[in-house]
Amino acid sequence: MPMPHEGSRPIRPLSLHHLSALDLSVDKLIAAAAAGGANHVCLFTQQPADSGMVPVVIDDARIQQVRQQLDDAGLSVLGITSFPILRGVDPADYGPGLDRGAALGAICANARIGDLPLESAADKFARFGGLCAARGILPCIEFTGFGKVDALAQALAIISRAGCGALTLDPLHITRTGTLWEQIEALAPHLIGYVQICDGPLEASEDDYMAEAGRDRMLPGEGSFPLNRLLAIAPPAMPVSLEMPRQRLVKAGSNPFDVARDLVVRSRAWLEANAGTEN
């Protein structure tokens, strides 16, 4: 793994999220993360209940193989996904995905909240949180939604009522929901469970947001998101997940492995150049 320059401020551990490289198999993702100098990966261990099939979900038969690949590469699993809290979905159905995550040593499980009444969402999240706790995993809510200015408040209310969990903070969703950065900066430290970074323009349409979320985002420094404000509130040793799909490059002919490796390298370079500027 790359080491900080002598006398420099330590650089945060980095995790490569599989959403950044859906064209890569799990073993290729692990190899790209290691080649770029990442410390962790974030993996799909549960087929999303609210979207199309994800071709990279790890099934039970591959757990030991993937664990060995991680060990050989010197990596570990930071987060697992995808666990949306939805109408008609029983959190107990996520047990197998959480089992796979626990077998891989995952730290966090990422959940998004669907269009549910507060009490129902809190009840489902509490049950999901209980499943996570039994496996030593922290349940985190990633609040999303174009122009949904109350998304953060709703996520906090669910966590409070459920009596468990923390937040996943993604600058894309913070910006596109219209959440104020002052609200993010006012969060209690125990509510910050998981931090992702990417970049983008401050203004975008809803269609742009949909494309950004799953297909195309900018690397740190390429856009206008106030990433230093986010990093300033995250504990110094907290890993940063690199979630920035770049499908436009792959479609233009770039090698998916190279794209994934390079986003780790370039993100680390940005963090090194900006170390000490968060405050």
For residue 208, give its domain range: 14-274
5 inside domain: no
- If you write DSSP's letter for every residue of 18-87 in order, what string do you get? GGGGTTS-HHHHHHHHHHHT-SEEEEE-S--TTSSPPTTPPPGGGHHHHHHHHHHHT-EEEEEE---B-T
Domain containing residue 212: CATH number: 3.20.20.150
The pTM score is 0.94
DSSP tag of 237: T
pLDDT at 61: 85
What does the alpha-carbon distance between residue 111 and residue 116 come to, in Å, rounded to a whole number? 14
pLDDT at 6: 39
- For 1, the token pair is 């793994």
2 inside domain: no
279 inside domain: no
31 inside domain: yes
3-class SS letters over 141-196 = EECCCCCCCCHHHHHHHHHHHHCCCEEEECHHHHHHHCCCHHHHHCCCHHHEEEEE
pLDDT at 10: 55
pLDDT at 33: 98
154 inside domain: yes
- Run means of pLDDT, 10 residues per run, the chain, 279 residues: 42 94 95 98 88 75 94 98 94 96 98 96 98 99 97 98 98 98 98 97 97 96 98 93 97 98 98 79
What does the alpha-carbon distance between residue 217 and residue 243 come to, in Å, rounded to a whole number? 8
Q: List residues bridging with 16 in a β-sheet.
A: 41, 242
How many separate domains does the chain show?
A: 1
What does the alpha-carbon distance between residue 272 and residue 259 come to, in Å, rounded to a whole number? 20
What does the alpha-carbon distance between residue 183 and residue 197 come to, in Å, rounded to a whole number? 18
126 inside domain: yes
Given a contact cutoff of 8 angstroms between Cβ atoms, the answer to whether 216 and 197 are in contact is no
Where b means 16+ CB within 10 Å and e means fewer, 131-150 reads bbeeeebbbbbbbbbbeeee
pLDDT at 130: 99
7 inside domain: no
